[in-house]
Amino acid sequence: MTRLPAFLGALRRDMPWPLLAAPLLFFAAFFAFPLAVVLVASVTAADGGGLTLAHYARVLLDAYHWDILWLTLRIAFVTTAIAMMLGYPLAYYLVRVVEARWLRRACVVLLVIPLFTSNIVRSFGWMVLLGRVGIVNETLQGAGLIERPIRFLGSETGIVIGLVYILLPFVVLTTGNAIAAIDRRLEEAASDLGAGPAQRFRTIVWPLSLPGLLSGAVIVFTLAVSAYVTPALLSSGRVTVFSMLIYQQYASVFDFHYGGALSVVLLVATLLLLWAAAAIDPTRRRT
């Protein structure tokens, strides 16, 4: 009972309020307030007739929305899994194998440069590569590996390829940082005690780098679930993900109430999954 007032007292005394004011105001104005507007719209009737849960009923009682939610999550899961599988070895290679510091820096710059380009431009690039008459299909056909072009655009595969490309740097950067922070003396000590390279990796590097890999995975998953531009362009209008449904309601149909309910459902579903992931996080026991 005494802890709460003590905590509040500490808040009053020690919090650098003048320093916090700017970020708090920014957060309130550009995140909390717009989110509140969406929340309010999702529980109010279109004709101004007070509070209602009708928009949520419309979303949740319709199997179609569950199908689209599952498809969206499936794309995000697969994207995250592939980004982790590609990102970990790449991060390890950059931190542990590349010896020259300038080369390592150059590699990191190469990795980060695409982030400075708009998603739209990068997605258009993939449209050129993955198209029916794109470089990938023409190369495969030229090599005699396929007879008819493979449909990448307008499929889940195309969306996953685009998202992995765009989101991979996040896994490499977080994992790379975690690997770089590992104290090399731990591995030297293990080596002195007779551990081979595989055992050193399994017992030291892997567990200590796992938090970095997992935080990268969380970033990739949340960005993939909410991605709009890449799926919209690479789906060719033949696959619908949840963010596209939300966009349509706000930009084409102007039903902000139904659109708001769709937004909140996606937000809650994502938060529940992240909460579940945190609950089974294998790195938690050690911290």
Partner 1 sequence: MKTRTTIAAVAAVMAATFAGHAPAQERAITVAWYGGNWGDAFKACVADPFTRATGIRVNAEIGTSTVTLGKLNAQKAAPSIDAAWMDGGISEVAHENGVVEHLDPARLKNLGNVEPAAVYAAGGVNFAVSTGYYAVGIVYNKSKVKAAPESWNDLWKPEFRDAVTLPSPSNSAGVPLFLFLHKMWGHPPGDLAPTVARYKALNAGLYFDASGAASNAFQTGEMIVGAHFKAAAWDLIDKNLPLGFVVPKEGVWATDARLHLVKGSPKRAMAEAFIDQAMTRESAACLAEKLYLGPAVTGVVVDARTAAKLPWGEKGSVKDLKLSDWAEVNALRPRIVDVWNREIARK
Q: Decide whether 10 or 253 has the Cβ nearer to partner 1.
A: 253
Interaction of residue 244 with partner 1, rule CB under 8 A: yes
Instruction: Name, in order, each residue with C-beta under 8 angstroms of 135's C-beta and a sequence gap of 6 or more.
Output: 128, 129
Residues 116-175 that bind partner 1 (CB under 8 A): 124, 127-128, 131-134, 151, 153-155
Amino acid letter, 140: L
Half-sphere exposure of 159 (CA within 13 A, CB side): 30
Stretch that binds partner 1, among 20-28, 162-170, 204-212, 235-243 (CB under 8 A): 235-243
**DSSP H helical ranges for 131-238:** 135-142, 156-180, 184-192, 197-200, 206-226, 229-234
Q: In angstroms, what is the minimal distance from the CB of 158 to partner 1?
A: 11
Candidate residues 95, 111, 232, 266; the one interacting with partner 1 per rule CB under 8 A = 232
Q: In angstroms, what is the minimal distance from the CB of 64 to partner 1?
A: 6
Q: In angstroms, what is the minimal distance from the CB of 18 to partner 1?
A: 18
CB contact at 8 A, 55 and 261: yes
Question: What is the secondary structure of 68-134 as a DSSP string?
Answer: HHHHHHHHHHHHHHHHHHHHHHHHHIIIII---HHHHHHHHHHHHGGGGS-HHHHHHHHHHHHSTTS
Number of Cβ within 10 Å of residue 141's Cβ equals 15
Q: In angstroms, what is the minimal distance from the CB of 130 to partner 1?
A: 10
- Looking at the DSSP assignment, which residues form a beta bridge with residue 44? 51
Q: In angstroms, what is the minimal distance from the CB of 127 to partner 1?
A: 6
Candidate residues 217, 225, 227, 245; the one interacting with partner 1 per rule CB under 8 A = 245
CB contact at 8 A, 65 and 265: yes
CB contact at 8 A, 164 and 173: no
Interaction of residue 237 with partner 1, rule CB under 8 A: yes
Residues 20-79 that bind partner 1 (CB under 8 A): 64
Interaction of residue 254 with partner 1, rule CB under 8 A: yes
Residue 17: φ, ψ to 5°: -55, -45
Binding mask 259-278 for partner 1 (x = CB under 8 A): --------------------
Q: In angstroms, what is the minimal distance from the CB of 38 to partner 1?
A: 13
Given the rule CB under 8 A, which residues bind partner 1? 64, 124, 127-128, 131-134, 151, 153-155, 232-233, 235-240, 244-245, 247-248, 250-255
